[in-house]
Amino acid sequence: MKFNDLNGNHVLDAGEPGLAGWTIHLDGTESISGAAVHLTTITDSTGKFQFMNVTQGTYTLSEELQSGWLQTAPASGTIIVNVQTTTPYNGNNFGNFKLGEVRGMKWNDSDGNGIKGANENPLADWSINIKGTDTITGMAVDITKQTDANGNYAFANLTAGTYVISETLKSDWKQTAPNTGTHTVTLTSGAVLTGLDFGNMPKPPPIPRVPVPATSTIGVIVLIGMMMVTAIPVLRRKAK
């Protein structure tokens, strides 16, 4: 059968559905007649496929990959079946993962409440970063994109894995959303995750420095120090 490898772990897990309407090929040579065999079938509504009346021979099963999907099983891509008996050859599974996407927007949270108000404007040209590990291939993912004129960003064609989405903070701005500073997401097959937004507000101008008053603690200590320096020689003279 052909299954939707929701968690991208290369094996058919309980609850992972079949994929209907995918083309499967069987190609090989009949060992008795030496004739070449090229058969095609389509997976049914439950993802199952079968080739009937195949005679003795060695055949290769393969799938026609569809756009936006990755094959996760079998590791070699194809399955070799050596047909010798009339016993059905079951368990020839193809697993696939539909590439996912994450999206969000960035806005000027001018009242700093962490919520996008109707009159609050998008922020263009900010860097949004996504980092994690693609668990299907084991490759590191580290991509940066700029928000567009509407403050939007999107990372498409993501495979299975857990990813952290962050922003590159600009000076004179502070972040107001999300509370945690970043969004952490786990991608399953076909997931499109939206609303991963970032809010920022301009920092208030710095408060001017107030001069230290003359009657400060430091001033008093300095005054006491000066009095002692003056008093010590007088006291020593009296002691003599």
Judged by the rule CB under 5 A, the positions of this chain that interact with Ca ion are 5, 7, 9, 13, 109, 111, 113, 115, 117
Nearer CB in complex with Ca ion: 51/98: 98
- Here the tokens at position 238 are 């009296």
Nearer to Ca ion, 13 or 142 (CB): 13
Closest CA to 201 of 111, 99, 95: 111
Which H or E run contains 145?
Answer: strand 140-146
Residue 170 CB, nearest distance to Ca ion (Å)?
A: 18
- Tell me whether residue 59 or residue 183 sits nearer to Ca ion (CB atom): 183
CB–CB of 81/57 below 8 Å? no
CB of 105 to Ca ion, least distance (A): 13
**What does the alpha-carbon distance between residue 57 and residue 164 come to, in Å, rounded to a whole number?**
50
Q: Which is nearer to Ca ion, 5 or 197 (CB)?
A: 5
Which residue number, 13 or 125, has a Cβ lying nearer to Ca ion? 13
Q: CB-wise, 5 or 167, nearer to Ca ion?
A: 5
Smallest separation (angstroms) from Ca ion to the CB of 117: 4
Q: Residue 100 Cβ, how far from Ca ion at the closest point, in Å?
A: 15
Strand pairing partners for 177? 199
**Residues 43, 2: contact at Cβ < 8 Å?**
yes
232, amino acid identity = I
Minimal distance, residue 213 CB to Ca ion, in Å: 40
Give 37-40 contacts, CB < 8 A, sequence gap 24+. Answer: none
User: Shortest gap between Cβ of 79 and Ca ion (angstroms)?
Assistant: 17
Q: Which residue is listed with tokens 């936006």? A: 68
Note whether 185 and 165 are within 8 A (CB). yes
